[in-house]
Structure 1
Amino acid sequence: MPSVWRPSFLLVVPLVLAAAIAAATSSARSPADLSGDWHLVVDDSILAERRGVTRRYHAFAKDPRNPVLVADRPWEGKVAYVYGSALPGEDGRGYRLWYHAWQGGEYRNLYATSPDGLRWEKPALGLVEFQGSKDNNLLFRRTKEDHLPVVLWTPDDPDPSRRYKLINYDYGRTAPANLVSGFWGATSADGIHWRDLPRNPILADPGDVGNFVWEARAGRYVGYPKVFAPVRGYRRRAVGYTATTQFEQWPPAELILVPDRIDDRWVTQDKQHTDFYGLCAFPYESGHLGLLWVFRITDGNNDGPIFVELVSSRDGVKWHRQEGDRPPLLDVGAPGAWDGGMITTVNQPLVEGDRIKLFYGGARHTHGGTKNAESAIGVATLRKDGFASLDAPAATPGAVTTRRWRGGGGPLRVNGDFRGGALRAEVLDAEARVVPGYGMEECVAVTADGIDLPVRWREHTALPTNARGLQLRFQVAGGSLYSFHVGAGVAWEDPAAVPDLAIDFEGKAEPARWTLVGGAVVQAGAGGNRALVLKKAGDAADLPGTAELGRTFTLAARVRTGSVSWTRIFSAHRGTGEPATGELIFDFNPRSGVVRLVVNGQRVQSRPRFLGDKQSHHYAATYDDGEVVLYVDGARVGEGRIRQGSVHLFSDRSLIEHLGAGRPLTGITLAGDLRVGEDPGTRFITFRDEAANAPTEQLVGTADDLLVARRALSQAEVERLAPAR
């Protein structure tokens, strides 16, 4: 069984792993490790309040000398690009680049070096033959379908022959090798001479794009491979997650991120939609950042531009999208430009002093334009920590208050530009009172521009200590705040847990918690209790904010119906075909007396129980790290297990299972919010195939006492919910 890392707010690190991490962090830090103790303001995850400030996003600046590496060798054709890796030299000087080329239906993996990131050399490696000669920079070759060479540098590996790890994709369609498709692994002492792992592929075949990273501080390998999921009427490319402490063994990927409705705001014609082509995510200072490859499908099929947006996270699993219009972090160039059609990137950028450097692949053509394909590699830069800032004008200062933290200490430092105004800060104690001597009026104004500016008070140059925790309140007047530093070993107070969605339809303010669909109404019955009333096909209620269920959850409702066929209680199913990853069905059949929960492409169903009396019954399902229990009227009627991994929906509407034996890594992420009463889908398109939803599972009757909780209720708790009101 793979040794996998499972994200948790209550993570207990095994002693062996902790020792390995301590050994790694005590040695010389790899230039590829971008983690640290600065706290960026790219999202609100560590902020308690902000008033009078505007979050402004900043794009990478493309170098005017681009492209810096072009396809100019016979074995490269006209297409040289990266879904690969760029690393500094082992001595910290120069750059190394692993990239690939495509020519006449064949992929080739290549290696290049540069003293400055602008002038590139393609050394004769003498490894792979091309047209009778090995005088080329071809790196390795299993088949003509090997591509996507992601290289991870792990200099602290005790085995020198394994300090470089390669993970790349092969379609497995090439005779006579006929490899098993998926992500293959290899190791190397120098990043040039590679040896395949004894067992390949190391990651089952979820899709042909995936980006991977070594998280040195946590001691784990993390991957973000493509996952296919049904999302709002289309089979779409989405983002999966997998993690392991053993490079040789990876658990199947789980769905974590799908395009939302804002991603489709550009659509003007039928069948246009947005996919996520890939995600390059990596630890950056105290959190995680991601380069999201956004694919706007303009022809309803497989063509359109790809550009890069910023996403941010505290744990690499739950991602925050940008506010407002979501401007590109790295956009395509002008029409006809060398990068005017598509942008892809290396798996992570590099930080050099006060700048971030990102190597990227640019294509003149859009995704479907392979007939005249032409692409090259460029470089772009950004201020360190400069992905987003909190800005306020000098005339109307703004305030930013952090959440409470413990630990840290030493001087307060900020990254910002305050040449047009000033920044001040005050320190608050655990009761949100200003610590004496650390008030705003005692703070010496910061009026400079820099990535590491000290903040002082008249009598203090270091932060106070307080075992119960501290907060900061910044005042920004005519400037931009990018990040701040309050010392090492900081532990932030967790945000409040997502509250249970409990709806009894009695409160006057409750309608904001649901949206009625079709002819659905909320009205009082004969006993005076209000309930959701569904009378015909298309009647339903949507429950906003219910797509992220996580590793534990409970669904429950009190339902009355005269139906004798399958009846939906909760659904996030496309309405046609077998359920896949990203979908959920919780329903029952009054005739057979069976209750079932279908999630992650798998089902658990109950033992038969009489349900055909047309009376009100209480139904509940709990999910706890894959363990499912089903209840009717408080009695346990079924149980089973949902396996970790994904069940992918392919273009021919078939389902491909990639499931593991371990516990879930991230839990259940749905492709859309839950609906009560029927499937939310109306039609569904996979590639060139279209299917309509026949509403044959419509709940006709009443639903009341709805519950969506991000915790698995005990049987005693379910029993207390069951009695009729």
Structure 2
Amino acid sequence: MHDLDPTQSQLFIDDHIIAHQTLLQRVVHQPIRWSRVNPILTPDMPWESPSLAFLIAVYADEDIGGYRAWYMTQQSGHSVFCTAVSADGVDWTRPDLDFCRDFAGGPNNIMFTFPAACDQPTILRDPQDTERPWKIVFYSVGSYYVGHSTDGLRWTVPQNPDQALTASGYGDRGTALLAPGADEPYMVFTRDLEDARAHQLVRCICRLGSHDARTVSSSTMVLRPDLEDGPDVEFYQMSAFRYESVYVGLIKRYFKTEPTFSDIELAVSRDTHTWQRVRPRQAFFAPPPNAREIGAFDMGTVCPAPSPPIRIGDALCFYYYGSASFHGDRFMTHDRCFGIAKLRVDGFASLNASKNRPGQVTTRPFMCPGGKLMLNGLVYGGNLWGYDDLEEADGYLRAEVLDSDGQVIPGFSRHNARPLFKDTVGVGPVSEHAWLDASGLPRDLSSLQDRHIALRFLLRSAELYSFRIETDRDALRSAS
């Protein structure tokens, strides 16, 4: 039986949970820029000009009842680490910390400075480490450094190479990931310069693993451009985060064209060691199509923060930095600002069916925990009015349950299913799917608890993003 946990959202971002499918197409969905508010932060302070160099992280902050962002600028050979706060995740202000008054000549939001140029820091939230619950990982002068903090504001940061996490041999633009429970819970995705040279590549993705965030225990190449990419594509960096049942990677593809530009492609992993690029290899996040015509601040490059997206309401909010130019661009101005883009919950990719040719997908078998089947889907034209036969409906999304031999379990067939005929996000991020018993009353999966089952989803003019099974315990946890 398959080792999936159906109480977590099971995404159709890859084929991992799929036994077989017919007449469906996977589509990658892009976050939508919040043009009404972008850019949300610009280099307005003297210690920020001319650019907000890197967006480090954005997390919900329970202490302030809102959100906190961390970012870095560069001034006079120093890297300047700053913070901003927001009540709603949209409007941001700079708090007066009074930590580095002498550096800026007055009140400021600077947490600390580092006496050299740093590259793409990452802040990790590590609540299991009660002594060092916040960690910052950054590259400087050939090495990666790890600092720590008790509150995310007052930092202890190593100042010399003898205290570095790595020695030379790795490139810049690395990002860190914390994977609690993994064999190596701390890791950095960076560039192995020796391996890249051996394969005549300039930029590809290497994984550095660590047991304790103090020393590196392994180094493995995980992603390289291949024959489908062509000679003008390099992997500039990859950030990654845990999302429900998977690790999602955001590969920054560097196109060495004229003018140069970059976009973001999705990758996925279950163990952080083996990564698969999501097919089709569509851009997940990219500069706007008409960016140069409209003079968009992010017309040359976009790069999400290496922290996980934040759920606000029924949307995943991706905070990113954008610039009018990119590496090697002769018009480069380093004028980076920060923006926000929103994605449907679980909305990285969907399996789509057309109106003319309904499709279906069957999952691999798993142990049923009982409870409610919750679907995240979108149905077009799902109006049953005047139809006696469900097959005549313009669009639908429904499910049936199979036993361990692949046979439909009585009472849980497509004919008993109460299908969905609308966008489930219209009634919340997901909607319950049930079956009707002989009395016409809805039935969930409680009677199938501890049985091995598989699910078969049937779609017409619809999109299916994910499913999960909500038990009473899950519902109580969500309510609290």
Corresponding position: 1:397 with 2:358: yes
Cα gap change, 1:45 to 1:207, in 2 (>3 Å): same
Q: Could you tell me how far 1:87 is from its partner in structure 2?
A: 0.7
Give me the CA root mean square deviation: 2.7
CA-to-partner distance for each residue in 1:439-471, whole Å, 9 max, x for gaps? 111111122322221111123311553767221
Distance in 2 (alpha carbons) for counterparts of 1:428 and 1:315: 28
Corresponding position: 1:455 with 2:433: yes
Tell me what 2:386 maps to. Answer: none
State which of 324, 347, 358 in structure 2 corresponds to 1:386: 347
The answer to whether the 8 A contact 1:203-1:251 is kept is no
What one-letter code is carried by the residue in structure 2 that aligns with 1:74?
Answer: P
Cα gap change, 1:382 to 1:251, in 2 (>3 Å): same
Tell me what 1:307 maps to. Answer: 263
Tell me the percent identity. Answer: 30
CA-to-partner distance for each residue in 1:59-112, whole Å, 9 max, x for gaps? 010111211100111111121043511111124732211111235665322211
TM-score by length of 1: 0.56
Tell me what 1:241 maps to. Answer: 207
Cα gap change, 1:249 to 1:310, in 2 (>3 Å): same
Corresponding position: 1:483 with 2:455: no
Tell me what 2:409 maps to. Answer: 435
Cα gap change, 1:323 to 1:158, in 2 (>3 Å): closer
The answer to whether the 8 A contact 1:36-1:285 is kept is no
State which of 416, 420, 428 in structure 2 corresponds to 1:446: 420
Tell me what 2:299 maps to. Answer: 340
Tell me what 1:355 maps to. Answer: 315
TM-score by length of 2: 0.83
Tell me what 1:328 maps to. Answer: 283
The answer to whether the 8 A contact 2:208-2:219 is kept is yes
Corresponding position: 1:42 with 2:20: no
Distance in 1 (alpha carbons) for counterparts of 2:187 and 2:7: 18
Cα gap change, 1:306 to 1:90, in 2 (>3 Å): same
Corresponding position: 1:164 with 2:130: no
Cα gap change, 1:327 to 1:103, in 2 (>3 Å): farther
CA-to-partner distance for each residue in 1:386-444, whole Å, 9 max, x for gaps? 11111112332110011111253322111111252211111111111111221111111
* Unaligned residue ranges in structure 2 (runs of 5+): 382-394, 438-442, 472-480
Partner SS state of residue 228, structure 2: helix
Cα gap change, 1:483 to 1:217, in 2 (>3 Å): farther
The answer to whether the 8 A contact 1:274-1:297 is kept is yes
Q: Could you tell me how far 1:385 is from its partner in structure 2?
A: 0.4
Partner SS state of residue 44, structure 1: coil
Tell me what 1:73 maps to. Answer: 45
State which of 275, 300, 305 in structure 2 corresponds to 1:319: 275
Distance in 2 (alpha carbons) for counterparts of 1:170 and 1:88: 28
Distance in 2 (alpha carbons) for counterparts of 1:216 and 1:187: 17
Distance in 2 (alpha carbons) for counterparts of 1:356 and 1:236: 33
Cα gap change, 1:242 to 1:461, in 2 (>3 Å): same
CA-to-partner distance for each residue in 1:97-135, whole Å, 9 max, x for gaps? 111123566532221112222222122322235656252
- Using the TM superposition, name which of 138-147 and 276-285 deviates more: 138-147
Corresponding position: 1:470 with 2:435: no
Corresponding position: 1:375 with 2:375: no
CA-to-partner distance for each residue in 1:121-155, whole Å, 9 max, x for gaps? 12232223565625222222231323433111123
Cα gap change, 1:396 to 1:371, in 2 (>3 Å): closer
Tell me what 2:477 maps to. Answer: none
The answer to whether the 8 A contact 1:108-1:146 is kept is no
Q: Could you tell me how far 1:372 is from its partner in structure 2?
A: 2.5
Tell me what 1:290 maps to. Answer: 249
The answer to whether the 8 A contact 1:238-1:275 is kept is yes
Cα gap change, 1:485 to 1:371, in 2 (>3 Å): closer
Distance in 2 (alpha carbons) for counterparts of 1:342 and 1:134: 33
Partner SS state of residue 187, structure 1: strand
The answer to whether the 8 A contact 1:82-1:344 is kept is no
* Unaligned residue ranges in structure 1 (runs of 5+): 1-8, 11-34, 172-180, 265-271, 489-725
Distance in 2 (alpha carbons) for counterparts of 1:130 and 1:251: 40
Number of aligned pairs? 434
Corresponding position: 1:138 with 2:143: no
Larger RCO of the pair (alpha carbons < 8 Å, separation 6+) = 2
Partner SS state of residue 262, structure 1: coil
The answer to whether the 8 A contact 1:98-1:149 is kept is no
Distance in 1 (alpha carbons) for counterparts of 2:465 and 2:113: 44
CA-to-partner distance for each residue in 1:640-670, whole Å, 9 max, x for gaps? xxxxxxxxxxxxxxxxxxxxxxxxxxxxxxx
State which of 19, 32, 45 in structure 2 corresponds to 1:61: 32
Tell me what 2:392 maps to. Answer: none
